[in-house]
Structures are given as structure tokens and as C-alpha cells.
Amino acid sequence: MNARRLRKIALNTAGIAVFVVSAFPVFWMISTAFKPNQEIFSSTPHPVPFHPTLHHFDYVINGGIAGVPFWHYFVNSLAVALGTVVVSGLLALLAAVAVARFRFRFRTTFLVLLLVVQMVPAEALVIPMFVDLRHLGLLNSLVGLTAVYVGFALPFGTWMLRGFVAAVPKDLEDAAAIDGAGPIRIFFRILLPLVAPGLVATSIFSFITAWNELIFAYTFLKDQDKATLPIMLQFFFGRSGNDWGPIMAASTLLTLPVIAFFLLVQRRMVSGLVAGAVKG
């Protein structure tokens, strides 16, 4: 009994330690965002601001450094991220159904290629994709950038959703077909609710990928009015020094939509885990 209790205490302590180490950078970012410059550059660092201020947030939101309001970049990032989530989720789900439910030639090869393409470093694809987007007339376009992010999210989404689709008993679809349901009704009433947890998980991955990505956005977007939030964040880094207050304020604002999106869909993920349960 003592050994089990000690093991439980050790595991809980280790879990708390991991949480503290992981959460401390986020805490320091938020704390610094509210500190005045005197406290940020003080030789004695303080975890909590003594004289909290909203000056840095006001500076970022009103476009103090680039002359463009924060919300302009926010709308661009939101359009790209939501477009990536919707398009990649739909295509990945259709591809997962095809791979899990149908037998066709080179099916195994296709599945292996899904894994292989994820092993290629994204940075190695910058130049080829730059050339392709230029030939397609999608360079310096949010649509072209969204297409690139969709391409990155599709392999992971297809592979992950394939497992969810394969786990759905085929008997449920056969029973619905016997009752007169067509393919479209079976897809929306039977299959979609049962694979919803996987769809939510892939949407979170797609949203975070599109929301935080910098290299491709910085390379493909030239006009400032089409820039996304990660590009805006680079404006606060300069040769003469870094403006850490606005950097931390902008980083905090950039993090909030990701948290909000996760809180919005996490309930659907939990409810989807028990949706459509059947008795044996």
C-alpha cells in the first residue's frame, strides 16, 4: 500500500513539474505584456508586474509600428486558418472514407505515400511551391497561401481520419441502407457523427498550423495589406533592438484565438466520443 501511494505521489509530482515547466513561458509572456518598459528592462526581473499597463496592447492594436491596425492582420489570418480547416477537413474526410471503405489498385502505396510526404522538411518545399504559385497566378494571394496549408494538412488528416472511419462498423451502414437510406444520408446521419472526434482533432491541427506558420507566409505574401499575424510580429524585431513589450502583447493576442477555437470544438470532441454507441 505504501509503495502504491509513493508511486502515485511521484507520478503526480512529475505531472505537476511538467505542467509548470510547460506553462512558465506562457505565464512570462502574458506577464511581460502588462509590464511597463522600466520593469521589462530592469536588472531585477519580477514575475508579476508591479505597475501593470495596457500601453503595449494599445500600441499593437492601433498599428503603432506599421501603421496598420491589428484587426487587419487578424482578419487575414482568420480567413486563411478557417479556409484551411474547412477545405482540408472535407477533402481529408472524403479521402479517408475512400481508403477505409473501398479496395482499389495502389491503395497501400497511397497510404505509404501519405507517411512519406510528411517526412519531407517543409523548408525544402519553399522554392518549388513559390514557382508553382507564380505559374498559377496565386503568388501574393491569401487563396494561394491557403492552398499551401491545405496541402500540408491533408496527409495528416487523411491518415488520422482513416482510423476513425475504419472503426465504424460496416453493419451500421448496411442496416441504414436496408432501411432505405441513400449514400448521402448514410454519410451525414451515420458516418459523420461517429468520426466527429477525429474531424475535430484534425481541425485543431490544421487551425494551429495555418495560424502560426511564418516561413511560407513571409515568402509568398509581399503586400502588407495581405500579411498575416506572424508576419506582423516580425515588425517588432529591428536592428537597433527588439520591442519586447509589444512583442509579448502581440504574442498574447495571437495565442487567444487558438485557445478560443480549442474551447469551441473540444465539447464536440467529447460528445462525439459517445455519439452513436450501439449495444452488442
32-58 pLDDT, tens digit each: 999 998 888 888 888 888 888 898 898
Q: Is 98 helix (H, G, I), strand (E, B) or coil?
A: helix
pLDDT value at position 270? 55
Mean pLDDT of 217-235: 88
Q: Specify whether the CB–CB gap between 216 and 145 falls below 8 A.
A: yes
Q: Is the pLDDT of residue 77 over 90?
A: yes
pLDDT value at position 279? 41
Neighbouring-strand partners of residue 241: 238
DSSP 123: G
Q: Between 194 and 230, where is the model more confident? A: 230
Q: Between 273 and 179, where is the model more confident? A: 179
What is the rounded distance in angstroms from the CA atom of residue 24 to the CA atom of residue 141? 37
Q: Specify whether the CB–CB gap between 228 and 76 falls below 8 A.
A: yes
Q: Specify whether the CB–CB gap between 209 and 150 falls below 8 A.
A: no
249-277 pLDDT, tens digit each: 989 999 888 888 888 777 666 554 444 44
Q: What is the Cα Rg of the chain in Å?
A: 23
What is the rounded distance in angstroms from the CA atom of residue 35 to the CA atom of residue 61? 17
Nine-digit cell at 242?
A: 527588439
What is the rounded distance in angstroms from the CA atom of residue 82 to the CA atom of residue 72? 16
